[in-house]
Amino acid sequence: MFEASLRKVEARGRANVGDKTLIDVLDPTVASLKNSAAKNTPLLLALEDAANAAETGYELTKGIVAKQGKGRYLGEQTLGTPDPGAYVTMLLFDCLRDEAKQRVG
């Protein structure tokens, strides 16, 4: 499901990893989830790993110059600031992890 979402977002926005978009969070997060699924990792641990991958991807956007979205108009001025879409995407995975933790107890 997440991989299909990633591919659709990439196609719709014509964005790639390194363009300073939510793709920079989704790509490593989807890779983490696929890796967890391949290893039959318990859901809570898989979501923890995914949230960590999302945070890493988000942090990496600080060192990228925006090539897509509204940020592209600012060019070099975007260096040092994280991408807002990447932030929201990271929060989504934080919420998924936190909700799973609450339900497990």
| Residue spans of alpha helices (H) in the chain | 2-13, 23-38, 43-60, 84-104
Percent share of the chain, pLDDT over 90 = 89
CA dist., res. 75 & res. 57, Å (int): 20
In angstroms, the CA 81 to CA 100 distance is: 30
Average pLDDT, the chain: 95
How far apart (Å, rounded) are the C-alpha atoms in residues 88 and 4?
Answer: 19
Asked whether the whole model's pTM tops 0.85, one would answer yes
According to CATH, what is the number of the domain 2-104? Answer: 1.25.40.340
Q: What is the pLDDT of residue 92?
A: 96
Number of neighbours of residue 11 by Cβ within 10 angstroms = 9
Q: Are 34 and 27 in contact (CB under 8 A)?
A: no
Mean pLDDT of 70-79: 91
pLDDT score recorded for residue 81: 95
Task: With a cut of 90, say whether residue 104 has pLDDT above it.
Answer: no
